[in-house]
Amino acid sequence: MPYRVTFVCTGNICRSPMAEWVLRHHVQDEGLDVEVDSSGTGGWHAGDAADERTVAALHRAGYRAAHIARQFDPDWFGRYDLIIALDGGHLRALRSMAPDEEARGRVRLLREFDPDAGPDLDVPDPYYGGRADFDLALEMVEAAMPGLLEEIRAALKPA
């Protein structure tokens, strides 16, 4: 059974699809049995493609990007091994939706996996910014990947 990871941001058109495609790239390169997707805490953009600036940032960095936004459903908690929030607001929203303590424990912040992140673990929302904001968000996502991959590899090791 594959290990399942989902990323969650606000509208599921900027940060979470960015993180989804970066992790997909890495798990595919390593041949890890991991399913990756994403969603948003809100449904404003459900059915929309990823923001064109997200797609452009991913393409500039050599990643693929195909995405249709959706809203996180609280019924999905049992579906995922790891639910990764992109900022503290998403973390609080997800933990408040969780059906129990075990489910709340599967919700983490992406930048927790970056040992150099410092005290501010939010990936800032680039939506109202420009190219530099999207590139910064991608840099933060990429910086967390080694630690996240280490966590996933450890979870996939036979007991």
Catalytic residues: 9, 15, 125
Helix, strand, coil percentages, rounded to 5, for the chain: 50, 15, 35
Would the CA dihedral through 101, 110, 87, 2 be positive or negative? negative
Q: What is the DSSP string of 76-92?
A: GGGG-SEEEESSHHHHH
Query: How far is 38 from 132, CA to CA, in rounded Å?
Result: 23
Single-letter code of the amino acid located at 100? D
Strand order through the sheet with 82-85: 34-40, 3-9, 82-85, 107-109
